[in-house]
Structure 1
Amino acid sequence: MDTVQRLALALTIIGALNWGVAGLFRFDVVGQLGGGFSEPLSRFLYIAIGISGLLTLGLLFDKWRDRKSEHPTAEET
């Protein structure tokens, strides 16, 4: 896993934790740190977390691709 994927995964985890806190306690950590939901810093953080989520989808598909190569189908043998 390269540095960009690690950073993306870390931001995705932060976003997931933020959603958990928002759901449990009705408190938006990212919005609070950024000065409010619609402030430019908060918007940047939300966009970065969203893009990170898309980048980490590649990790999921890499795992699926690895599983396919480990278990060849009857047609491949």
Structure 2
Amino acid sequence: MKLRTAILAVVVLSGWLWVTPPAFSQGCAMCSSYVEASSKGGQRAVNKAVLLLLLPAAGFMSVGLALAYRYSRKRDLEQG
């Protein structure tokens, strides 16, 4: 039951992050002014670059969390 709750929490959090307003991604004034001044192709390239930088970090974090969960559960089962 706890696994189902955790999966539901991850799905809800992912959905919430997916539909955030675009204003959250405009924190850097220099980046936003660069993107506003560039062409549509340049804007798409910047968006792809952001995703390209985000995916490996999210992947490493996911693997780290999965390993931590796996080994903490294994340790709990060994102790009691």
Which structure has the greater CA radius of gyration? 2
The structure with the greater share of residues assigned to helix is 2
TM-score by length of 1: 0.43
Q: Which has the higher contact order (CA 8 A, sep 6+)?
A: 1
